[in-house]
């Protein structure tokens, strides 16, 4: 009998411990709920458990389903707050400081992920980022083979400490909307650098898609462990072969670690080497050696010293007076902080040598000058300034294997982790900045981008929420002669996506950086998106539209172009009109002369083309000389009048 009673007691305790309300991370203190739409609150509990929700002086009741999930839909509310929410089941949860306002998802790849702390005038912007009516939520970065219901994270107030690691574009957008409309703003950062668009579409959204449809249906069965094991072996072999190409590495020895650098070139560090203005380092990947001499006195030699080099892209080996003192393999974001043994220190000149391996993308020292120093028991010596450098190897074939599963290994992975947990929310809209990783598949992007928008709207059960996006910024060297362009074809695919209902685009072709795929002027991009939202979403009288191509007419040896959204008229931002190309039936392109002939027309011609049939504008990776703007200062969208097959046609 005692055993039976004990069993019943333990069972009751176990049931009582399990029968508690659990909320997803998105439902919490400081959250923003979407105004003027039904508000859904959901969570988990024991099947059959009664849930009572009290909010804004109203009670709502439901019962947990057999699957262990419950949800309550509250009626529309106007902007306001703060409110308190109390949920009662077997336990009680109280949530506070809740606002009703507009909820925007900020998604895409690295230019959307780009932090506020890294923009132009970052210190000033971060210090000013205190807006209690703006709330921030960042989705954690994980890879999931199946659609997740929850995400790790929490809602935070927009303060300097919280905003500096948040999406800069999202922040500048939200700040403008909050200031102009006087409504609370919730921003959800669901972005991951370097990701391709097919990873952001769910398996249902990719059904019957010719390239990724079948693969998407099989993702949940993927053997990650075996794949990672095999890939690490392949990657290790590739890196070993890569390092053997280094001129500073011979017969197993790093001979440049102790080499004389008198004939090496000068360079200012810290910086990404592609941004230093050195022609031999422009868009270069491979191995570069750096040297710096520092003077030490007898007082500096009493203890071990510390060498802080900040973050290095990608891997490094670091020497002091020719002796290896530290090395770090490819590790994103890891600060290099190495101990220099006391026995290596000497009075007078000491040499720091850093060998950097870069396998693609930015290479070099990625930190601020104040994080670049050597510290002895006597003093701290800043290492910013002039260094010496020498190239050990230039990488020319980009065939590095993945070292493990990543967001681009399979379709759907980003949707599964970043978007799936959000679909129960009512939202105002989406901000999107992506396309760089689909750079060579512009024609395919024409189909995938609208497909993704449709997919998300279906999953959110909101068939036409606003979807605003950024056209890719100018990047790479300016072309000497007209030529086909991969990035131009992606920009064209983005422009064509404006045909999808309730979408809108702003361009960044004039605020990019030739040497940096991550330009720092996120203020203007956020401003343009906010103006577009005020016009298209909030129906305000905002001057937000870029001019765009409408039609053309051949007039003998010239072509007249007609444009819309010119406001008071077209004009040049700087001198003569630039970046126009013209071609005849032979499809050979030449730089063209262009002249504004009326409020909304431009005539284009070239002495080299007597019978022109087509014109292109800003049709290159970096249309640096594209300078046509409307009277509101917004740049003319890139365009072409022809429909000739581009270089990405057929690429999957």
pLDDT in tens, 45-76: 999 999 999 999 999 999 999 999 999 999 99
Q: Please, what's the b/e burial string for 597-632 (b: 16 or more CB within 10 A of its CB; e: otherwise)?
A: eeebbbbbbbeebeebbbbbbbbbbbbbbbbbbbeb
Looking at residue 5, its pLDDT comes to: 43
Looking at residue 68, its pLDDT comes to: 95
Beta strands in 300-418, from DSSP E residues, in sequence order? 305-313, 315-320, 323-328, 335-340, 348-358, 364-366, 373-375, 380-382, 385-394
Does 515 have pLDDT greater than 90?
Answer: no
Looking at residue 477, its pLDDT comes to: 87
Integer Cα distance of 648 and 209 in angstroms: 18
Integer Cα distance of 222 and 218 in angstroms: 7
Neighbours of 421 (CB within 10 A): 24
For residue 283, name the pLDDT band (cuts at 50, 70, 90). confident
Half-sphere exposure of 359 (CA within 13 A, CB side): 20
Does 627 have pLDDT greater than 90?
Answer: yes
Output the six-digit token pair for 87: 């949920």
For residue 332, name the pLDDT band (cuts at 50, 70, 90). confident
The backbone torsions φ and ψ at residue 631, rounded to the nearest 5 degrees and listed phi first, read: -65, -15
Output the six-digit token pair for 306: 């510390």
For residue 278, name the pLDDT band (cuts at 50, 70, 90). very high
Residues 6+ apart with CB under 8 A from 311: 333, 334, 335, 336, 365, 366, 367
What is the percent of the chain with per-residue pLDDT over 70, rounded to a whole number? 97
Does 3 have pLDDT greater than 80?
Answer: no
Integer Cα distance of 325 and 336 in angstroms: 11
For residue 368, name the pLDDT band (cuts at 50, 70, 90). confident
Integer Cα distance of 158 and 577 in angstroms: 42
Task: Give pLDDT tens digits for 84-118.
Answer: 999 999 999 999 999 999 999 999 999 999 999 99
Integer Cα distance of 1 and 7 in angstroms: 10
Looking at residue 331, its pLDDT comes to: 81
Looking at residue 333, its pLDDT comes to: 82
Looking at residue 362, its pLDDT comes to: 87
- Per the prediction, the chain carries an average pLDDT of 95
For residue 366, name the pLDDT band (cuts at 50, 70, 90). confident
Integer Cα distance of 143 and 420 in angstroms: 12
End-to-end Cα distance, the chain: 71
Output the six-digit token pair for 209: 């898609």
Chain-centroid distance, C-alpha 636: 24
CB 291 within 8 Å of CB 388: yes
Task: Give pLDDT tens digits for 480-511.
Answer: 999 999 999 999 999 999 999 999 999 999 99
Lowest mean pLDDT among 127-136, 351-360, 362-371, 443-452: 362-371
Looking at residue 15, its pLDDT comes to: 36
Task: Give pLDDT tens digits for 174-187.
Answer: 999 999 999 999 99
- Alpha-carbon Rg of the chain, whole angstroms? 29
The backbone torsions φ and ψ at residue 122, rounded to the nearest 5 degrees and listed phi first, read: -60, -45
pTM of the model: 0.92
Does 33 have pLDDT greater than 70?
Answer: yes
Domains of the chain: 259-394 (2.60.120.260), 548-640 (2.40.10)
DSSP alpha helices (H): ranges in 164-223? 168-181, 213-217
User: Looking at residues 38-46, what average pLDDT do you find?
Assistant: 96
Looking at residue 367, its pLDDT comes to: 83
Looking at residue 13, its pLDDT comes to: 37
User: Looking at residues 337-366, what average pLDDT do you find?
Assistant: 96
Looking at residue 114, its pLDDT comes to: 97
Looking at residue 415, its pLDDT comes to: 98
3-state secondary structure at position 370: helix
Task: Give pLDDT tens digits for 187-200.
Answer: 999 999 999 999 99
Does 6 have pLDDT greater than 80?
Answer: no
The backbone torsions φ and ψ at residue 476, rounded to the nearest 5 degrees and listed phi first, read: 80, 175
């Amino acid at each position: 009998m005692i055993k039976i009673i004990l069993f019943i007691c333990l069972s009751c305790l176990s049931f009582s411990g399990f029968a508690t309300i659990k909320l997803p991370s998105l439902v919490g203190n400081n959250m923003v709920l979407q105004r003027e739409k039904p508000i859904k609150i959901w969570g988990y509990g024991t099947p059959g458990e009664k849930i009572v929700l009290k909010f804004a002086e109203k009670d709502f009741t439901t019962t947990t389903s057999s699957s262990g999930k419950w949800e309550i839909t509250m009626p529309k509310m106007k902007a306001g707050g703060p409110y308190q929410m109390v949920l009662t089941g077997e336990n009680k949860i109280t949530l506070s400081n809740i606002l009703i306002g507009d909820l925007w998802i900020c998604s895409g790849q690295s230019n959307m992920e780009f932090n506020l702390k890294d923009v132009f005038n970052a210190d000033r912007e971060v210090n000013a980022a205190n807006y209690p009516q703006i709330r921030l939520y960042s989705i954690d970065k994980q890879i999931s083979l199946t659609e997740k219901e929850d995400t790790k994270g929490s809602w935070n107030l927009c303060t300097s400490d919280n905003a500096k690691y948040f999406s800069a574009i999202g922040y500048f957008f939200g700040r403008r909307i909050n200031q102009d409309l006087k409504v609370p703003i919730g921003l959800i950062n669901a972005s991951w650098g370097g990701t391709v668009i097919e990873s952001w579409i769910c398996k249902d959204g990719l059904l019957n898609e010719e390239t990724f449809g079948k693969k998407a249906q099989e993702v949940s069965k993927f053997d990650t462990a075996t794949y990672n094991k095999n890939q690490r072996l392949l990657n290790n072999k590739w890196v070993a072969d890569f390092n053997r190409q280094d001129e500073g590495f011979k017969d197993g020895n790093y001979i440049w670690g102790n080499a004389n650098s008198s004939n090496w070139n000068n360079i200012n560090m810290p910086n990404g080497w592609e941004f230093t203005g050195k022609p031999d380092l422009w868009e270069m990947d491979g191995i570069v050696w750096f040297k710096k001499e520092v003077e030490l006195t007898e007082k500096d030699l009493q203890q071990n010293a510390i060498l802080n080099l900040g973050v290095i892209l990608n891997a490094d080996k670091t020497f002091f007076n020719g002796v290896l003192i530290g090395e770090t393999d490819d590790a994103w974001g890891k600060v290099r902080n190495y101990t220099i043994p006391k026995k290596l220190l000497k009075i007078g000149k000491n040499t720091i040598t850093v060998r950097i391996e870069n396998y693609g993308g930015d290479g070099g020292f990625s930190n601020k000058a104040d994080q670049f120093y050597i510290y002895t028991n006597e003093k701290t010596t800043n290492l910013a300034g002039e260094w010496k450098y020498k190239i050990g190897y230039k990488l020319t074939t980009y065939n590095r294997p993945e070292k493990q599963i990543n967001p681009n290994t399979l379709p759907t992975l980003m949707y599964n982790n970043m978007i799936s947990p959000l679909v129960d929310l009512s939202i105002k809209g989406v901000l999107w900045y992506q396309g760089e990783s689909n750079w060579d598949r512009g024609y395919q992007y024409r189909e995938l981008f609208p497909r993704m928008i449709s997919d998300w709207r279906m999953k959110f059960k909101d068939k036409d929420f606003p979807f605003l996006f950024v056209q890719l910024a100018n990047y790479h060297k300016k072309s000497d002669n007209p030529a086909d362009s991969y990035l131009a074809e992606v920009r064209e695919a983005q422009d064509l996506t404006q045909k999808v209902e309730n979408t809108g685009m702003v361009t960044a072709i004039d605020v990019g950086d030739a040497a940096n795929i991550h330009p720092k002027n996120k203020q203007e991009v956020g401003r343009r998106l906010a103006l577009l939202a005020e016009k298209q979403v909030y129906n305000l009288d905002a001057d937000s539209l870029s001019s765009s191509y409408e039609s053309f007419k051949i007039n003998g040896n010239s072509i007249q172009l007609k444009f819309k959204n010119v406001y008071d008229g077209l004009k040049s931002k700087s001198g003569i009109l630039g970046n126009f190309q013209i071609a005849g039936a032979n499809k050979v392109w030449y730089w063209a002369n262009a002249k504004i002939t009326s409020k909304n027309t431009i005539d284009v011609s070239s002495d080299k083309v007597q019978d022109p049939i087509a014109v292109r504008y800003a049709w290159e990776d970096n249309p640096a000389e594209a300078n046509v703007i409307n009277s509101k200062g917004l740049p003319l969208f890139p365009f072409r009048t022809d429909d000739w097959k581009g270089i990405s046609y057929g690429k999957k």
